């Protein structure tokens, strides 16, 4: 099966902040904070009733790479792409969501928790997966084991990654990116764009030290 163009919008993006804005003020704080902090990408988790609106508004603004996260079925995937999502992220592997992404030509990073799910993703033509919930599953120890078997797969751990463990994760040769909400939590969004920018800038600077 032909591989999806996963790296078309994700190329070089090693930090993928996950946010679920619940209102217009949080959405604007997210957008302004990410831009000021130097991180032009965001995964909008479809975890509340406003998140889809936030995704559409951020995508329409055109100054961020906006993806949809916590996508749970094919219909939701279709709606997210129609709203402007440039990539999809799922908490687990689902054939119908992958099929939508393939048909629409949108990169997808499906969630995996086992070797079986990594193999299913690979057989679907994908080469990058999200390990979720990473810390609960063993984190980098599990990535060590999986990457030894799946040498052409890369991983985006999500769930428990923090600024304190960022460098350790990004230094792993099989980790393409990390995902997390420590950069864009609801508490930070409520504090405003400056708070988001400070958190983002600190993590961007740490990420830049990896491999230098």
Catalytic residue numbers, as ranges = 43, 130
- Helices 95-104 and 74-82 pack at an angle, to 10 degrees, of 30
- The number of beta carbons lying within 10 Å of the beta carbon of residue 181 is 20
**Vertex 125: Cα angle to 90 and 134 (nearest 5):** 35
User: CA–CA separation, 130 vs 113, rounded Å?
Assistant: 9
Number of H helices, E strands in the chain: 11, 9
Q: Are 64 and 51 within 8 A, CB to CB? A: no
User: CA–CA separation, 95 vs 78, rounded Å?
Assistant: 14
User: What is the secondary structure of 82-148 as a DSSP string?
Assistant: HTT-S-EE-SS--HHHHHHHHHHT--EE-EE-SHHHHHHHHHTT--EEEETTHHHHTTHHHHHHHHH
């Amino acid at each position: 099966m032909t591989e999806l163009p996963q790296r078309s919008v994700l190329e070089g993006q090693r930090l993928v902040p996950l946010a679920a804005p619940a209102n217009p003020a949080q959405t604007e704080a997210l957008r302004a904070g990410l831009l000021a902090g130097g991180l032009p990408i965001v995964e909008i988790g479809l975890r509340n009733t406003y998140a889809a609106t936030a995704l559409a508004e951020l995508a329409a603004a055109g100054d961020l790479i906006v993806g949809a996260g916590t996508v749970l079925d094919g219909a939701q995937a279709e709606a997210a792409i129609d709203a402007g999502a440039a990539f999809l992220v799922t908490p687990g592997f689902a054939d119908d969501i992958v099929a939508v992404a393939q048909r629409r030509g949108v990169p997808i990073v499906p969630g995996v928790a086992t070797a079986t799910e990594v193999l299913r993703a690979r057989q679907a033509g994908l080469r990058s997966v999200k390990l979720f919930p990473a810390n609960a599953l063993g984190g980098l120890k599990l990535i060590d084991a999986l990457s030894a078997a799946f040498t052409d797969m890369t991983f985006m751990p999500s769930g428990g990654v923090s600024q304190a463990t960022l460098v350790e994760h990004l230094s792993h040769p099989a980790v393409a990116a990390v995902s997390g909400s420590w950069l864009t939590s609801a508490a930070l969004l409520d504090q405003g764009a400056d708070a988001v920018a400070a958190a983002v800038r600190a993590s961007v600077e740490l990420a830049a030290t990896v491999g230098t």
